Amino acid sequence: MAEPRRVDVEILGQRYAIRSEAPPDYVRQLVAYVEKRVQEVRGDAPGQDTTKVLVLTALDLTDELFRLREEQGKGDIDITARLGQLIKLLDAVVPPSR
């Protein structure tokens, strides 16, 4: 594992020192994404409480994560079902080996 590095970032005007094994550019990408989502949640009301906006953004990001996990799970089920159908087709066409 890589040695944790300090990456200084700013979110909603607050500076944070983040220690991460991830490359600094990756951490900055994450911060940029969070900032973008904060702006979407905040909308045209920049005077909102920072904590409230961050909590709402965290909930929005968590919802996104859960939905993606659910979709991925459905994809796994679909693949399993398709593989099962393919095996049945192959069994019907290819005689069993003796």
Number of domains in the chain: 1
Beta bridge partners of 7: 18
Give domain status of residue 40, yes or no: yes
Give domain status of residue 34, yes or no: yes
8 Å CB contact between 41 and 56: yes
pLDDT single digits (tens) 10-56:
988 889 999 999 999 999 999 999 999 999 988 887 788 888 999 99
Give domain status of residue 22, yes or no: yes
**Domain containing 81: what range?**
5-93
Q: What is the pTM of this model?
A: 0.68
Give domain status of residue 98, yes or no: no
Give domain status of residue 86, yes or no: yes
Predicted pLDDT of residue 10: 92
pLDDT single digits (tens) 51-86:
899 999 999 999 999 988 888 877 667 777 777 777
